[in-house]
């Protein structure tokens, strides 16, 4: 995978270099699958596991980039967004002349599905309150409130790795996904322990990763949000539902210009990533 600068107002665009550079814009209308990851599809061409890179772009304030990839799934790296954040830091960001527009929430929206819930409310900044509840002794009930900032994202959210249970990881491998999956890039739990030798990066790493995923998924709206997202036992599917509701109910939000000191941003030179080849 290679990330390249893009002109102002391009947005994030994936290009399958193995398919003559076929382009798939990172937009909600191209969401195809939202089970264990968020996949995009256009005219039958798929890009899978997009949420970690999209989250890094959102967390670092990157509006425009061209992502060239020669396969259907993005490299998992260490299972978090941190390698992408570090690479963006290394190559630098380029401020562009176009002004950034934010989607400011002016009416609350709530989606409920049994014990699962996600809502967004008016607020003065972008904020996420996320709660999870898993019947596992090392997870249980966790909740975290995150007020977005570039530095806060880099230190508190981006390092949180994706996680799964041993049986689920084996199923994903059989389905052809997470081909580079290993204990180096997924927090794997069996019945009563974390199998990774180094343990967890945060006691609530599981909840932090849910915020990471959410930020990537809702970036598919196409504009950074000003609002307070509250999620309980949600996941990729409910994140996508929230974006779909926002697109359908445009009277619940309005586009507002950014301050003068907040131009659109693209990465500077290109940067490349190679997938992990390890396997469970």
Q: What is the pLDDT of residue 36?
A: 80
Choose the catalytic residue: 30, 52, 228, 236.
Answer: 236
Q: Which of 39-53, 108-122, 170-184 has the lowest mean pLDDT?
A: 170-184
Query: pLDDT band at residue 260, thresholds of 50, 70 and 90?
Result: low
Asked if 252 contacts 246 with a C-beta cutoff of 8 angstroms, the reply is: yes
Q: What is the pLDDT of residue 275?
A: 46
Assess whether 239 carries a catalytic annotation. Answer: no
Does the pLDDT of residue 82 top 70, yes or no?
yes
Query: pLDDT band at residue 180, thresholds of 50, 70 and 90?
Result: low
- Helices in the chain by DSSP H: which ranges? 51-60, 82-91, 150-152, 166-174, 205-218, 236-248
Fold observed for domain 2-271: lpxc deacetylase, domain 1 (3.30.1700)
Does the pLDDT of residue 102 top 80, yes or no?
yes
* Domain ranges, ordered by start, for the chain: 2-271
Does the pLDDT of residue 17 top 50, yes or no?
yes
Query: pLDDT band at residue 170, thresholds of 50, 70 and 90?
Result: low
Question: 31: closest CA among 275, 234, 186, 219?
Answer: 219
Q: Kindly report the backbone phi and psi dihedral angles of residue 220, in degrees, each rounded to the nearest multiple of 5, phi listed first.
A: -70, -5
pLDDT tens, position by position, 33-56: 887 899 999 999 999 999 999 999
Does the pLDDT of residue 87 top 90, yes or no?
yes
Question: What share of the chain has pLDDT > 90, as a percent?
Answer: 77
Axis-axis angle for helices 236-248, 205-218 (nearest 10): 30
pLDDT tens, position by position, 54-64: 999 999 999 99
Query: pLDDT band at residue 272, thresholds of 50, 70 and 90?
Result: confident
């Amino acid at each position: 995978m290679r990330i390249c600068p893009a002109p102002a107002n391009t947005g994030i665009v994936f290009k399958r270099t193995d398919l003559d550079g076929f382009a798939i814009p990172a937009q909600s209308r191209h969401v195809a699958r939202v089970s264990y990851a968020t996949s995009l599809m256009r005219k039958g061409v798929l890009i899978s596991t997009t949420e970690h890179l999209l989250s890094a772009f959102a967390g670092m304030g990157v509006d425009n980039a061209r992502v060239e990839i020669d396969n259907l799934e993005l490299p998992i790296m260490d299972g978090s967004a941190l390698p992408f954040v570090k690479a963006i830091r290394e190559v630098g960001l380029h401020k562009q002349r176009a002004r950034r527009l934010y989607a400011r929430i002016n009416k609350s929206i709530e989606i409920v599905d049994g014990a699962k819930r996600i809502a967004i409310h008016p607020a003065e900044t972008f904020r996420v309150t996320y709660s999870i509840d898993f019947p596992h002794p090392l997870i249980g009930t966790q909740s975290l409130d995150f007020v977005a900032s570039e530095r806060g994202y880099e230190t508190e959210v981006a390092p949180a790795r994706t996680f799964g249970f041993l049986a689920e990881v084996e199923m994903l491998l059989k389905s052809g996904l997470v081909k580079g999956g290993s204990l180096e890039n997924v927090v794997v739990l069996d019945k009563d322990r974390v199998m990774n030798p180094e343990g967890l990066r945060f006691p609530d790493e599981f909840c932090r990763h849910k915020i990471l995923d959410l930020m990537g998924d809702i970036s598919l709206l196409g504009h950074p949000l000003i609002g307070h997202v509250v999620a309980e036992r949600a996941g990729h599917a409910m994140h996508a539902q929230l974006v779909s509701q926002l697109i359908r109910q445009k009277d619940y939000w309005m586009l507002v210009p950014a301050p003068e000191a907040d131009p659109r941003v693209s990465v500077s030179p290109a940067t490349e990533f190679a997938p992990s080849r390890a396997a469970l």
